[in-house]
Amino acid sequence: MSVAKAAQEFAKHQEVVPEQPAPAPVRTDWLRPPGAVDEALFLERCTKCGDCAKVCPYGSITSHPQNGTPVIFADQMPCYLCEDVPCIAACATEALLPVEGRAQIRMGLAVVSHRVCTAGQGCHACASKCPTDALSMDFGTQRLVVTTERCVGCGLCEQVCQTVNDHVAIRVTPFRLLAQSLS
């Protein structure tokens, strides 16, 4: 009887399919490198060669985990807006086009969650690190203000915020997502 019971238990465990871990959610908050053309044209032109990522001195440009195109995850490693923009110079297919200066770069737009922002309590770390002076403090309202015309979406503010605060109060929304929400 004990052999039969052992065989039944063995058979029962053989039918159990081990649970597969849930796949990681696909992130949509990635940015294209500086000088990227419109998304549809970018996808036509980009050959996924990785040349832009190879020349990025900060390692900001990585490959999209699903399609291999170059992306920047601002919360992991923002774009440091290199003066000579080597990523653009490395692109032979014109998926990344030259810009007149870093103020002309448009990767995204910083958006502040005033509910968790500590600027009213004296934190101005993001504003002090902004390379385009797109962030400032409105002392009348005690709120951080983003000057849309100056923000290039590099993500330095997001990275700084996560290093000095418990809750990230500023995130960069990629321009392609902003364009979709306006459509």
**CA gap 144, 117 in Å, rounded:** 8
Contact 90, 55 (CB under 8 A): yes
Torsion angle defined by CA atoms of residues 30, 143, 181 and 171, in that order, rounded to the nearest 10 degrees: 10
**What are the tens digits of pLDDT across the range 81-101?**
999 999 999 999 999 999 999
Supply 7's token pair. Answer: 């065989």
What is this structure's pTM? 0.82
Position 26 scores a pLDDT of 79
DSSP states along 143-177: EEEE-TTT-----HHHHHHHHH-SS--EEEEEHHH
CATH 3.30.70.20 fits 27-182, yes or no: yes
Going from N- to C-terminal start, the domains of the chain cover 27-182
To the nearest whole percent, how much of the chain has pLDDT over 70?
Answer: 85
Q: Which residue has the higher pLDDT, 175 or 150?
A: 150
pLDDT interval class at 166 (50, 70, 90): confident
In this predicted structure, the answer to whether residue 16 has a pLDDT above a threshold of 80 is: no
